[in-house]
Amino acid sequence: MARLFSPGPPPSEDLFYETYYSLSQQYPLLLLLLVIVLCALLALLVVASASGRELTSDPGFLTTVLCALGGFSLLLGLASREQRLQRWTRPLSGLVWAALLALGHGFLFTGGVVSAWDQVSFFLFVIFTTYAMLPLGMRDATAAGLVSSLSHLLVLGLYLGPQLDSRPALLPQLAANTVLFLCGNVAGVYHKALMERALRATFREALSSLHSRRRLDTEKKHQEHLLLSILPAYLAREMKAEIMARLQAGQGSRPENTNNFHSLYVKRHQGVSVLYADIVGFTRLASECSPKELVLMLNELFGKFDQIAKEHECMRIKILGDCYYCVSGLPLSLPDHAINCVRMGLDMCRAIRKLRAATGVDINMRVGVHSGSVLCGVIGLQKWQYDVWSHDVTLANHMEASGVPGRVHITGATLALLAGAYAVEDAAMEHRDPYLRELGEPTYLVIDPRAEEEDEKGTAGGLLSSLEGPKMRPSLLMTRYLESWGAAKPFAHLSHIESPVSTSTPLQVEFGGERAVIRGSRNSRIKCSRSKEKALASFSPQWSLDRSRTPRGLDDELDTGDAKFFQVIEQLNSQKQWKQSKDFNPLTLYFREKEMEKEYRLSALPAFKYYAACTFLVFLSNFTIQMLVTNRPPALAITYSITFLLFLLLLFVCFSEHLTRCVLKGPKMLHWLPALSGLVATRPGLRVALGTATILLIFAMAIASLFFTPATSNCPFRAPNVSSVAFNLSWELPGSLPLISIPYSMHCCILGFLSCSLFLHMSFELKLLLLLLWLAASCSLFLHSHAWLSDCLVARLYQGSLDSRPGVLKEPKLMGAISFFIFFFTLLVLARQNEYYCRLDFLWKKKLRQEREETETMENLTRLLLENVLPAHVAPQFIGQNRRNEDLYHQSYECVCVLFASVPDFKEFYSESNINHEGLECLRLLNEIIADFDELLSKPKFSGVEKIKTIGSTYMAATGLNATSGQDAQQDAERSCSHLGTMVEFAVALGSKLDVINKHSFNNFRLRVGLNHGPVVAGVIGAQKPQYDIWGNTVNVASRMESTGVLGKIQVTEETAWALQALGYTCYRRGVIKVKGKGQLCTYFLNTDLTRAGPPSATLG
């Protein structure tokens, strides 16, 4: 039971919870209580009139009832003024309790002779409803319950104590009353504690659900941003659906397809223009930069280009080193796509000219543009990058390569679409590369109309360099100048993704003019700036939002968050149970979804053992009362003893899990006993059977004493020849129980009613059935079959009196029947309320669980997407609490092995015709090749291989990127470059994959691989489409090793050959070859049979 009274939540949560609890939950119960009391008062008048009593003959009773009717009607009217009096709900509740207490004392002294059992049932009603139906705190309710009990005991004790000994023994009756009141207080405390615990849990779950929804919304926004930073919207939707299917099927698994091909997300678009741009002179400049300078320079440059692209409705496709290419006319067709690309190219050249003029650094921009059709989309399984393919894309690339620095080089197709918007001049034939010469079509250079204006204005050439002095490095000059452009940082929108609620705008809520700030956080607390008492005292239901401190840009977000907050709170209102709901049937409270209803009924109930324990307390109270007011016949004692053993057996079954240690020390044949408790908690049928049997036992024992009375209605006190001395000698029937046990049997029956309400999670229809059964049985017993006992007691009390007929509430059978009906309707209202909250608690737990699962799925999706853009060791830098937006990610490595693997035959294989859907089927085969290559990355032995990107049919990867910065320098050379072996095995595995594809596609593709190792700089650049990349001479040489290589061979530099030889691989010399940009290099071929034998001198030298 200790868990039922566990400490409450932090004070910061109490403010809104208590406001919500008292006003939204128990406010309707207060109204219902007043209605029940008013109906009971009217019923008293009706019963009194129907039983033939003259109401005017008992003015005290009539006055009490009429005054009570007026007073409670006034209280009901005040309580109904919800909007004005909600701040006075608790004082009003205290007033209702005081009125009920005064009414009970008024009934004590009106209508006839005062007895010790008078109005015990009414005071029991006051005590229980104080806990269950009045919006008072536990301390206030306990104080009210104890005061109610003591006032009845003290008043009767003081009033009846000095009277003559003609009355039955007073002390046993007062003791029985004490037991009754104590049982009522305990049952009330138990009911209130369980309900408050359930309500508080539901409230917390509702708030947690709100925070989960906000977090879920944030995750969805982040995913949307992240996906749209990689892919266009139309493609993002398709690929997101596949990722979700993959997550649901199991992490990393690919959904089964109807064919043997991987999904292909490529479409053909006509009427687009492609722009390629390359920064001339950047390679030499980059060699002088520090890693931070290089990444900052690239981010600022390409960030500026992204801004220009956005202005001219162009979409950046990729960044290849210092090469930038984009497309206009995707994903939506644009009539002026050619003009957009030309304008963008001119603006790029202009930006570089300004940069050169300001810094004096010798760099320039070379741009090529061509218009035609493209295949666009994503291929492969990892490191998605939106790309374009077609002969027209190849032509645009060659237009850039053969262009003139500072100029925009366009084809005739683009010129035709410009419609005279720009003047052009013929490009010199000597600038053309072999590809263009083979085509034989004329090309043109666009004349920038603003170039002459800039030349006339003149520029302060090298202004920054002259101000900073001649000693500053060109790269540092560039960095200083580019910082002024202020390009956005990559993934800036993903800041603090793990705690989106904590960073959300706080809710500004006004409680009657006092402002409280409700701020979401991960522990679901509500932090308020005002004290609890002041806020509750000044509460007003008119909620308002304080926008005085809200930035204009957050208005919409605030509206959405606040609306959801109050929508959730409104859904907890108990009055919702009577209205149409998408979750509940308003009449039966059944869930509309059959599966949810079934799940609710089959759900576990660990608290059942506490229900049984509290019911056992009611049984003990009945037993004690019967022993106090009867002459304790042996048969009754034996009956109670048998029932006592049955209850002990029930409690042993319910609490057997707590006896595990003791049972395990005993014989093995008893080791199954602790499992009984789990069976009761998890088996609904068993719980219903045990609960019903327990309540029926309480009912049976409440009226057990009636079975020991005479069967015939022979009351000796009605005989006219019985002397007054005989009256005084005995209150017992001959050979039977004392007459005073009759009203106490009725009180025990009322405890039986209360025992039914102690099973909070028992279904409403079963409670209704049991309450109806008990109401019918009790009324038939005391109004029909054993009514003569009540008449006999009245005859004994009023023997010799002038008026032998007492008032309605002084006649035991009528008093009992009225009490039965009052408790029946009261407990029926509470049963409905309990049923609603049990179901609401289940519903919110289920919603919260579903939302958490969905949030977890979304978080996994975000992580998967981010890791599809960035390496796993880099992604945490851009997600979670460690994110630092002020820093660009950059890292330098001393030893990284870079691989370029291409399928040169694919260029010849690729064709565009109607047969292959204009090249689409060719790309389907390329997608299979790249996807099969990507599948190798999921193997544990290749966990250190990081895919960088694909360029056409070339696959770029690297190893050694997951090492900590500076770690390689602290280790010896052999150990630091051990990952070269992993890259060699990966290259061989790529060749094996390609062989399998050749076998199934009837092709003869061969791989050409180039490897190199050395220092590189890694970083993330680009805010619009963040991209992880590596730069450095090592990367350039590795690319040249591939482009100058031989089909079916792995070509490496001399330094890499020596390193591989040290690892046990064999290399043989190819010779000295000419490498563009590097001059003459001695290169080697790797023996791909992976034989690790022989000294280095055998093959190198």
| Cα 234 to Cα 740: distance, rounded to the nearest angstrom | 85
- The Cα-based distances of 701 to 393, 617, 747 in angstroms read 93, 13, 12
Determine whether 579 is an active site residue. no
The answer to whether 919 and 912 have CB atoms below 8 angstroms apart is: yes
Q: Strand, helix or coil at 508?
A: strand
| Cα 583 to Cα 776: distance, rounded to the nearest angstrom | 34
The answer to whether 972 and 1059 have CB atoms below 8 angstroms apart is: no
DSSP string for residues in 250-275: -TTPPPP-SSSSPP-EEEEEEEEEEE
The answer to whether 624 and 179 have CB atoms below 8 angstroms apart is: yes
How many residues does the structure list for the chain? 1101
Dihedral over alpha carbons 834, 840, 844, 846 (to 10 degrees):
90
Which residue is catalytic, options 318, 432, 813, 1040?
1040
Q: Can you give the three-state secondary structure of 441-497, one letter per residue?
A: CCEEEECCCCHHHHHHHCCCCCHHHHHHCCCCCHHHHHHHHHHCCCCCCCCHHHECC
Q: What are phi and psi of 440, to 5 degrees?
A: 70, 15
The answer to whether 376 and 369 have CB atoms below 8 angstroms apart is: no
E strands in 715-866: none
The answer to whether 770 and 692 have CB atoms below 8 angstroms apart is: yes
**DSSP element (H, E) containing 327:** strand 323-328
| CA atoms within a 13 Å half-sphere pointing along the CA-CB vector of 885 | 11
- The Cα-based distances of 836 to 18, 166, 195, 585, 842 in angstroms read 19, 52, 11, 11, 10
Residue 1087 burial by Cβ neighbours in a 10 Å radius (0-12, 13-18, 19+): middle
Q: Which of 232, 268, 264 is nearest to 375 (CA)?
A: 268
Which residues 6+ apart lie within 8 Å of 414 measured at CB? 273, 338, 341, 342, 369, 370, 371
Q: Strand, helix or coil at 791?
A: helix
Determine whether 1040 is an active site residue. yes
Burial per residue of 1004-1043, b for 16 or more beta-carbon CB atoms within 10 angstroms, e otherwise: ebbbbbbbbbbebbbbbbbbbbbbbbbbbbbbbbbbbbbb
Is the sign of the CA dihedral 30, 35, 38, 39 positive or negative? negative
- Pairing assessment for the beta strands 1067-1075 and 1079-1086 based on DSSP bridges: antiparallel
Angle at 664 between CA 661 and CA 668, to 5 degrees: 170
Burial per residue of 502-514, b for 16 or more beta-carbon CB atoms within 10 angstroms, e otherwise: bebbbbbbbbeeb
Q: Which of 3, 132, 36, 183 is nearest to 837 (CA)?
A: 132
Q: Strand, helix or coil at 854?
A: helix
**DSSP element (H, E) containing 884:** none
Amino acid letter at 65? V
| Cα 640 to Cα 645: distance, rounded to the nearest angstrom | 9
| Cα 787 to Cα 790: distance, rounded to the nearest angstrom | 5
- The Cα-based distances of 360 to 71, 78, 350, 477 in angstroms read 95, 84, 15, 9
Which residue is catalytic, options 522, 975, 1076, 1092?
1076
List, by residue number, the catalytic residues.
Answer: 1040, 1076
